[in-house]
Amino acid sequence: GYSYNRYTWSGDNSGKDAQDDQRITLTVTLPLSNWLPGTYTSYQLTNSNPGSTDQSVSIGGNALENDSLEWSLHQGYSNREYYSGDMRATYN
């Protein structure tokens, strides 16, 4: 899917020096269940005006009997030299 958002804000109530941020996001999610049952992968690209591009990729899914294990891995990157990542698992 995709989304487009536009935000305007000002540091005071006068509306002078208002900042404008336009953001478009593209997300692609693919099931991998033909090769790995209960697994998906996702890619997200966000472009903001002015000048920011963020990307992230993740993989996750369910495993074990009754899908009792939920797991995911995530890696993110921004052209502002910001990196992120996490690994999660939940067993019920």
List, for residues 76-91, the tens digit of each pLDDT value.
Answer: 999 888 899 999 999 9
Mean pLDDT taken over the chain: 84
Q: Give strand ranges (E) for the chain.
A: 2-9, 19-31, 39-49, 52-63, 69-78, 82-91
Confidence category of residue 19, pLDDT binned at 50, 70, 90: low
Please check whether residue 70 is in contact with residue 82, taking contact to mean a CB–CB distance below 8 angstroms. no
Q: What is the pTM of this model?
A: 0.72
Tell me which residue of 68, 61, 65 sits closest to 37, measured CA to CA. 61
pLDDT at 39: 96
More confident residue, 32 or 14: 32
pLDDT beyond 70 at 55: yes
Q: How far is CA 61 from CA 25, 32, 35, 55, in A?
A: 23, 9, 12, 20
At the topology level, CATH places domain 2-7+26-91 in Pantoate--beta-alanine Ligase; Chain: A,domain 2 (3.30.1300)
